Amino acid sequence: MVENQQWKEVEKTIADVMTVVEKQALKEKYLAKLSSSTIDWNKLETKLKLSYSQLNWNKINSQLDAAMANIKLDSLQVAYTIANSELTKAEKMATACDSISVEIPMPDVSLEQIKQSKAQVQKNLIKIKAIRNKRVIHL
């Protein structure tokens, strides 16, 4: 069963290169090689278990944690950048409406509130960039 699944993977890589007869001959050689005693599956299993136990799981976990933190920072940076551009548009619209004396598109939000929100978003963007640029020294 496993051999047939492995063969299907091999067959995908040689899909149009060989004829049906050539594929069948190759499959027979492949299955014969797998079932022959030249491969010591127990020895291979032991090597894999040893390799697995020698992995530095602390380092792997710390690298995964760092990658997850970077993903979260990327997401925050994108969200704050979008918010900043939207607040800039709102600020321009509010300023234009004040000079023309037309009703503000967001009557429940003042120009001052927009500016405060924009300043807070820009402050958060600066913090994200500072966090991203911080170097970690491992002792």
| 139 has a pLDDT exceeding 60 | no
Distance CA 118, CA 93 (A): 14
Domain ranges of the chain: 57-133
The pLDDT of residue 102 is above 70 = no
The whole-number pLDDT of residue 137 equals 61
Q: Are 122 and 84 in contact (CB under 8 A)?
A: yes
pTM for the model: 0.54
